[in-house]
Amino acid sequence: MSDELDRAALRRVLRERYPFLAETDRGPQSVAAGECDRCGHEPRMVQPCGPPPAGLSGPATPDWALGRRCAIAAGVEGWCDGHAEEAAEAIAWVQALPPEADDIARLWWIATGEVRATPDATRRARALLAGT
């Protein structure tokens, strides 16, 4: 087997198995690839419209975003006053994600070429492709 990962096949399999990846208003397609700007430990999933919270893991950028647990912790207050309904929908959405959603988001970013694969992520991607 080639060392090259078949990213197109990985995108196809991920979309088939994980419908949440089709979302463009929230999820890995809606934010810049990377880790949560608050905790730095989980993939970015939602971009609240409120002011950046205190305690970001780095400087606030215009595209700051939160991972699942941090979005839930921020609550509706993490969004601006006029977007409470949008906030509640985003929070319900992240709460409904499957337990493996963080790994799937990272694999999605590898499949789209937004981040480079680590050896461990390449093994996980190949195992996912082999199971198809």
Q: What is the pLDDT of residues 38-82, one digit of tens each?
A: 999 999 999 998 777 777 777 777 889 999 999 999 999 888 889
H/E run at residue 8: helix 7-17
In this prediction, residue 132 has a pLDDT band, given cuts at 50, 70 and 90, of low
Its pTM stands at 0.89
* Residue 98 token pair: 């499957």
Cβ atoms of 72 and 88 closer than 8 Å: no
Average pLDDT, the chain: 91
| Residue-level pLDDT at 2 | 47
